[in-house]
Structure 1
Amino acid sequence: MGMDTDCTTPEEHAVLVGGPAHGLRLRVTDRPPVVQVTRPCEVEAAPGGVRAEALYVYRLGLPAGEGPLSYGYDAASP
């Protein structure tokens, strides 16, 4: 007789508020305090496959009760 050791955490729906990814909906696990969004940047003559990405940070807001989790854009980060 074995014990059920399935410790998976359910996913929750979240929405990003503000910034370049405003309105983007996603699913998160374990309510991470920060979500990082990147957007590729065009580079000229990049040596050895170097690439650049713009980085945007969204922070978990206060629980709103019903509905998806809300992550607000942090313009001061990184």
Structure 2
Amino acid sequence: MENSGTTNWETAVLDGGPADGVRTCVTDRPRVIQVTYPCQVDGPEDGPRAEALYVYRRDYGVTTEPLRYGFDMASP
């Protein structure tokens, strides 16, 4: 991947977990992508909110687009 002073975007696809099949754009091929998902909590609607954090790790065997990021079962 060449960097000529401009941002080079690449397509990535998430595999497994709650964001299975989602496509996104990344720069610099990050090792992990974090996905948050709102969680239902008990109490009034305007009360505290919570989000689950899910981690997707890059599959280094995939070197061309779309890059692949697999769901990390240890998260959240």
State the TM-score bracket (shorter-chain normalisation): 0.7 to 0.9
Determine what percentage of the aligned residue pairs are the same residue: 58
Give unpaired runs (5+ residues) of structure 1: 1-5
Aligned residues: 72
Matched letter for residue 10 of structure 1: N
Judging changes above 3 Å, is the alpha-carbon distance between structure 1 residues 56 and 69 closer, same or farther for their aligned structure 2 residues? Answer: same
CA contact (8 A) 1:38 1:55 kept: yes
CA contact (8 A) 1:15 1:71 kept: yes
1:1-78 equivalence runs, <5 A: 7-45=5-43, 49-78=47-76
CA-atom RMSD in angstroms:
2.0
Runs of 4+ in 1 over 6 A off after TM superposition: none
Deviations along 1:21-60, one digit per CA (max 9) or x if unpaired, are 11100001111111001110112226x8531011110001
Q: TM (normalized to structure 1)?
A: 0.77
Q: TM (normalized to structure 2)?
A: 0.78
CA contact (8 A) 1:63 1:69 kept: no
